[in-house]
Chain A
Amino acid sequence: MALIRYLQYAGRWLTLSLSLMLARPCLAIDNVTILLSEDGPAYTEFSTQLSNLLTQGSSKSTVKVLILSAYKNEDLPRNASNQVLIAVGTPAMTAIAQKPPAMAVMNVMVPRNTFQKIAKQYGRNQDPHHFSAIYFDQPWSRQLSLIRAALPGRNRLGILLSKESAEMLTGLQTAAKDTDVQISIETVNDDSELLPALRRLLNMSDSLLALPDAAIYNRNNIPSILLTSYRQKVPFFGFSASYVKAGALAAVYSSPAQIAQQVAEVIQALPSPAYLPLPQYPRYFSVNVNTQVSRSLSLEIEDETSLMRKLKSPTERVQ
């Protein structure tokens, strides 16, 4: 009896997986809803790129773009089996986490820490395959590899930390061990502590890496941080293109369009009852270098393309 039941079970499983395999090429997901936190340029860059990718070529999914301020729960389709909701940005993610829809939710352009916090807060962390994410942050290993590739031999890295970013530390330290980077940390709890802490840190660092921590890295603090480290001839690594424009030596980051590319690929590979991959880091990224700064600091740095090449090979193996 047990054997027959087992065979029945196996047969059912076999047909299911066969049907899944057959279903794949003709696309299981035919309805994608994009919920934007706001209609700012970065958000529309994402939705435009994703819509283009999903409506072009062999795939024929319908894409609906909503904006959080004008969004009601009724806007979402009831039938959820072949539906995916892409929540863009933290406000959209929070709204969706509070009132979970029937369909699977992919959160994008959200910091890793925020995603984990919100998912935990609203109990959405139990089922990551239906409430997943592509983080906005780069994996630590990729950021450290950039520093290693840009400044070979200068492996003493300084990190400014506030209470808010303390939880990022474990991941960073693990990556540092793997990449043979020696990390020094100074904690800042108050704006008045910023300059003294930064000066102590600069004395023992060959370079500085910014963390996405708004308590330290904001518009008002960035002149102090960039000028002071520049005077000490300690190169600074940011986490967005605008940091490089502001005066950071280099940064690795993913643009909204690059995230959209990854989302499109994920969607195109999804089975019919959407079963999302686990939360992951961006797959596509760019490297920017401020050549004026590197020249002024007399640093011989490889160009952006060759740094990109160096970053791509190891990280792809990791993923």
Chain B
Amino acid sequence: MHFLALGHILLAKKRRDFHSNLAGKRLKSGAGCIVLFFSLLHQVAIAGRGEESIFLDDMPVVLSASRLSQPINEAPIAVTIIDRQMIRDSGAWDLSEIFRLVPGMYVAYHADPYYSADSTVAYHGMVTTTTSDRMQVLIDGRSVYASLFGGVNWSDLPIILDDIERIEVIRGPDSASYGANSYSGVINIITRHPAETQGKSVSMALGNGRKEGIFRYGSKIGALSYRLTASIRDDKGEDDTIKRPTSVFTFWNLNKYDNKTIHNLNLRADYQVNSADTLEFQFGYNGGPREVGEYNNVSAISRRAENHFEMLHWRRALEAGGELSVQAFHTVERVYARLKDSDGVSDGDAILRRYDLEVQHTFSPFKNARLVWGGSIRYDQTYAPYYLGVGNNQYLYGDFPYHLRRFFANLEWRARPDLVFNVGGMTENNTYTGTDTTPRIAVNWHIQPGHTLRLSHSRATRSPSAYEKVYDTYWRSPEFYPNLPEMQTERVKSTELGYIGKYGKLDIDFRLFYDDYSQLIDVRNKRSAAGGNLNAGTAVMRGYELQLKAQLTDKTRLIYGLSGGGVKSDNVNGVIYSDSLPKYNHSLMLSHRVNDQWSGSLVAYQVAKTKFNSTDYNPRENRGYFINGNRRLDGKLTYQFKLGGKAAECSVIAQNLADSRYFEYRRDNELPGRAVRLNFRLDL
């Protein structure tokens, strides 16, 4: 090998010398020499290949199976697609805010005061923890669902809003495709391909307590395209005290510690190895000081996040639209914190690591059928002595290991042009709860062109977080309940009837759902342990969801979402599940482009009163309470122009335009009122 390589280098050198000699004899001028040298090389390059090669060359397979999205009327489950335009029109500042546009989704601003001052994003209620651990979140197929408490710390994700191509929100359980924790739904974030983000761009935002600068550079070297995005965000969060508080309790007049500085650096490089193989590499970093804590009794003296990930994804396009894909990633989520609580100063460090490898093969086993199958292995390590120190233990040291192995398959069979069946499932084995299988069957019937009915039944699970597992071990220790059975996964059986219709320029997506939840976990409550079952919770959820997309004119788009329903539960051991789904939940987005310069959007949200488990200091000592319904209006006005021949854009964004006063998720989580910011963007 070495000799060969050396030989090649020598040969190349010889060739180069030959060319320059030739050129030198022909032309005396040095500059001319170089010109001729390159033109010679150019000719050499062309002479070997005729101009007909453009008709004969293999082209790289760009839209391979995993890059093509399934149309919503063929998907085995309800999907809401949030595209770039929707993200922009929504005026969202934080990634979590975008999900208010999804029917059935509940978003609460900075609701968690303990681990990170982050938003709660929960689909279909039953929010028993601020981290809302019942939904899976993936970025380019990489699970960012955290091992410690479950759920996602939205501001800790190494992602920049403008790098997102689209978000697919799967409404309903989907363990059959995405495994455990895809329990109430799945959020699938897809970033832009670097081939689509070429050139330089800068963007700056300034508003009430908010500042941000973003720089992006995208370029191409032959078959390699890459993008680098860097940003600094300074978010002062809410004020320390609530202005014009609506609550009478002193504790609820004070706000949380939620200042954040976010440094983000993202790299994505896609290399087209040949016409069939592509390699994608991603690196992301998110770090910086983040406050946490509530009132004056718990707070962080210092706390900073240091997160990063690396991912490598190889795809090979196979015959007849098949694909083989191998993806490996490594994630580190780190928090360095000195915390102050009633016991004095504590060490609040936490380090979560994840290693994951997945292989997936797509092919057509027989006519009109497509099979996606594969498997994955994952290893999670959770180090969080302060947070895992449950009960009287102040600290629980150690890297808690968690192994996960999966095997999955889904067959999509087009039995008739108008009839598509999806049959599939996943079998997984993990350290905490052993082996589980979650199947799904769905049928999509295209009654007429533009009208589809979907009927599906599936099962899904949620496996306990490291925190819940530690609690489980704690309760089962000899000093408590040694006979307590080991904790199991949470389960749900879900049945759904959907209709997807097209009436001219109006798209309708309607569904009825019936979800039967069982083995719901509750570990914090001594009553659950004493009752002999940490999986005692059950609930039945029934409801509907409607989503409308209407292109009213070429320039006006309307997107509407409505959801409603109810939860029936015995609320075993006082855990609140009943009424945890708002009776209704609306969102309406109207965007209009006036001309080439001016465009604007208005977004209205309305949420009915909802019952939550108390996660604050609660003077009434009840386990749960209702949070009143709220209305909110956001708006954005954009002016596009040319600055020195370059595309520029200026926008003013106002969130909570009407400055309405209301609470989200907790009685002590009052919205900070109207937030206005200016945004300037220039494509260089």
Which residues of A does B touch, CB under 8 Å? 37-38, 40, 42, 89-92, 109-111, 114, 136-137, 191-192, 194-196, 212-214, 217, 219-220, 222-224, 226-228, 230-231, 238-240, 242-243, 245-247, 253, 290-293, 295-298, 300
B586: min CB distance to chain A, Å: 27
Known: A295-B71, A296-B69. A222 touches B59 (CB 8 A): yes
Cα-based distance from A226 to B68 in the complex (angstroms): 11
Chain B positions 43-82 with a Cβ under 8 Å from a chain A Cβ: 47-48, 50-52, 54-65, 67-71, 73-74
CA distance A214 to B45 in the complex (A): 14
Main secondary structure of the interface of B (DSSP, over half): loop
- 5 nearest A-B residue pairs (beta carbon): A247-B63, A90-B50, A246-B59, A223-B195, A224-B195
Interface residue B196 (Cβ < 8 Å from any Cβ of A): yes
Report how far A290 CA is from B68 CA in the complex, Å.
Answer: 12
**Partner of A195 from B56, B196, B275, B449 at Cβ < 8 Å:** B196
Chain B, 64-122, CB within 8 A of any chain A CB = 64-65, 67-71, 73-74
Contacts A42-B56, A224-B196, A298-B71 given; indicate if A90 touches B62 (C-beta within 8 A).
Answer: no
Residues of A within 8 A of B196 (CB): 195, 224, 227-228, 231
Whether A136 contacts B55 by the Cβ 8 Å rule is yes
B199/A192 in contact, CB under 8 A: yes
Select the residue from B73, B198, B222 with max chain A CB neighbours within 10 A: B198
User: How far is the CB of A192 from the nearest CB of chain B, in Å?
Assistant: 7
Q: Which of A37, A40, A110, A226 interacts with B63 by CB under 8 Å?
A: A226
Expressed in whole angstroms, the Cα–Cα distance for A159 and B317 within the complex equals 28
Query: Beyond A220-B222, A220-B223, A226-B63, is A111–B275 a contact (Cβ under 8 Å)?
Result: no
B residues at A contact (CB < 8 Å): 47-48, 50-52, 54-65, 67-71, 73-74, 165-166, 193, 195-196, 198-199, 220, 222-223, 225, 270, 272, 275, 317, 321, 449, 647
- Which residues from chain A contact B63 at a C-beta distance below 8 Å? 226-227, 230, 246-247, 290, 292-293, 296
Write out the residue numbers on chain A whose beta carbons fall within 8 Å of the beta carbon of B270.
223
Q: Is A219 within 8 A of B57, CB to CB?
A: yes
* CA–CA, A227 and B64, complex, Å: 11
Q: Is there an interface contact between B55 and A239, defined as CB atoms closer than 8 Å? A: yes
CA distance A315 to B202 in the complex (A): 52
Smallest distance from the beta carbon of A244 to chain B beta carbons, Å? 9
Q: How far is the CB of B681 from chain A (nearest CB, A)?
A: 15
Q: A192-B198, A220-B272 are in contact. List 11 more A-B contacts (CB 8 A).
A: A222-B59, A222-B60, A223-B62, A224-B225, A226-B62, A228-B196, A231-B196, A245-B58, A246-B275, A291-B321, A295-B71
Asked if residues B65 and A246 are in contact (CB atoms below 8 Å), the reply is no
CB distance from B623 to the nearest CB of A (A): 47
Contact A253 B60 (CB under 8 A): no
Hey, which chain B residues are within 8 Å of A291, CB to CB?
A: 321
A119–chain B nearest beta-carbon distance, Å: 14
Hey, which chain A residues are within 8 Å of B198, CB to CB?
192, 194-195, 224
Ordered by A's residue number, 8 sampled pairs between the chains whose C-beta atoms are within 8 Å are: A109-B50, A111-B51, A240-B54, A242-B57, A246-B59, A246-B61, A290-B63, A295-B74
Determine the distance from Cα of A85 to Cα of B272 in the docked complex, in whole angstroms. Answer: 40
A89-B71 contact in complex given A219-B60, A245-B61, C-beta closer than 8 Å: no
A224 CB contacts on chain B under 8 angstroms? 195-196, 198, 225
Q: Among A195, A230, A238, point to the contact of B199 (Cβ < 8 A).
A: A195
Q: Tell me whether A111 and B272 are in contact (CB under 8 A).
A: no
Contact status B61-A110, CB under 8 Å:
no
- CB B315 to nearest CB in A, in angstroms, measures 12
Instruction: Find the A residue at minimum CB distance from B65.
Output: A292
Residues of A within 8 A of B68 (CB): 230, 292-293, 296
A226 to B196, CA, bound (A): 10
Contact, CB under 8 Å: A89 / B50: yes
Task: Name the residue on A nearest B72 (C-beta).
Answer: A298
B147 → A minimal CB distance (Å): 34
Interfacial chain B residues near A238, Cβ < 8 Å: 59
Across the interface, which residues of B come within 8 angstroms of A110, CB to CB?
50-52
A298/B73 in contact, CB under 8 A: yes
A84 CB → nearest B CB, Å: 20
Tell me the complex Cα distance, A297–B67, Å. Answer: 12
Contacts of B223 in A (CB 8 A): 219-220
Tell whether A220 pairs with B70 under 8 Å between CB atoms, given A246-B61, A247-B62, A300-B449: no
Considering residues B60, B70, B74, which has the most beta carbons from chain A within 10 angstroms of its beta carbon? B60
Residue of A nearest to B70 (CB): A296
Kindly state the separation between the CA atoms of A213 and B55 in the bound complex, as whole angstroms.
Answer: 10
Provide the bound-state CA to CA distance between A142 and B56, in Å.
19
| A residues in contact with B166, CB < 8 Å | 231
CA–CA, A195 and B54, complex, Å: 21
CA distance A1 to B669 in the complex (A): 118
For residue B670, give the distance in angstroms from its CB to the closest CB of chain A: 39
CB distance from A94 to the nearest CB of B (A): 8
Name the residue among B54, B56, B63, B166 with the largest chain A CB count within 10 angstroms. Answer: B63
Cα of A195 to Cα of B270 in the assembled complex, Å: 17
A231: chain B residues within 8 A (beta carbon) = 165-166, 196
Which residues from B are CB-within-8-Å of A136? 52, 55
Whether B165 contacts A243 by the Cβ 8 Å rule is: no
A149 and B289 alpha carbons, distance in the complex (Å): 59
Q: How far is the CB of A160 from chain B (nearest CB, A)?
A: 14
A residues near B64, Cβ cutoff 8 Å: 247
Give chain A residues whose Cβ lies under 8 Å from the Cβ of B51: 90, 110-111, 114, 214
Min distance, Cβ A226 to any Cβ of chain B, angstroms: 4
Q: In the assembly, what is the distance between CA of A17 and CA of B561, in Å? A: 80
Query: For A214, what are the chain B residues with a Cβ–Cβ distance below 8 Å?
Result: 51, 54
Given contacts A89-B52, A90-B50, A295-B74, contact A223 B199 (CB under 8 A): no
Partner of B55, one of A91, A246, A253, A296: A253
Looking at the assembled complex, report how far the CB atom of B645 sits from the nearest CB atom of chain A, in whole angstroms: 11
Query: With a CB–CB cut-off of 8 A, which chain B residues contact A243?
Result: 59
**Given the complex of chains A and B, what is the CA–CA distance between A220 and B223 in angstroms?**
5
Q: Which residue of B lies closest to A224 (CB)?
A: B195
Q: Are A242 and B275 in contact (CB under 8 A)?
A: yes
Min CB–CB distance A5 → chain B (angstroms): 50
- Please pick, from A114, A220, A227, the residue contacting B193 in the complex, using a CB distance under 8 A: A227
> Which residues on B sit within 8 Å (CB–CB) of A217?
54
**CA–CA, A300 and B166, complex, Å:** 24
What residues of chain A lie closer than 8 Å to B59, measured between beta carbons? Answer: 219, 222, 238, 240, 242-243, 245-246
Taking CB atoms, residues of chain B closer than 8 Å to A109 are 50, 52, 55
Nearest B residue (CB) for A114:
B51
Q: Give, as a whole number of angstroms, the nearest-CB distance from A67 to chain B.
A: 13
Say yes or no: A220 contacts B220, CB within 8 Å. yes
Shortest distance between the CB of A172 and any CB in chain B (Å): 17
Residues in A whose Cβ lies below 8 Å from that of B50: 37-38, 89-92, 109-110
CA distance A239 to B59 in the complex (A): 11
Q: Cα distance A297–B74 when bound, in Å?
A: 11
Instruction: Output the nearest chain A residue to B48 by Cβ-Cβ distance.
Output: A38
- The interface residues of chain B lying within 8 Å CB-to-CB of A240 are 54-57, 59
Bound-state CA distance A223–B225 (Å) is 9
Q: Contact at B61–A247, with CB atoms within 8 Å?
A: yes
Q: B222 and A111: CB pair below 8 A?
A: no
Q: Which residues of B contact A42 (CB under 8 A)?
A: 56
Contacts of B272 in A (CB 8 A): 219-220, 223
**Contact residues in B for A247 (Cβ distance below 8 Å):** 61-64, 67
- A212→B54 contact, CB < 8 A: yes
Report the Cα distance A253→B55, complex, angstroms.
9
Q: Is the CB of A223 within 8 A of B56?
A: no
- Shortest distance from the beta carbon of B317 to any chain A beta carbon, whole Å: 8
CA distance A259 to B38 in the complex (A): 36
- Which residues of chain B are near A195, meaning CB under 8 Å? 196, 198-199
With a cutoff of 8 Å between Cβ atoms, the chain B residues found around residue A227 in the complex are 62-63, 67, 193, 195-196
User: With the chains together, A109 CA to B270 CA distance in Å?
Assistant: 33
Question: Inside 8 A of B69's CB, which chain A residues have their CB?
Answer: 296
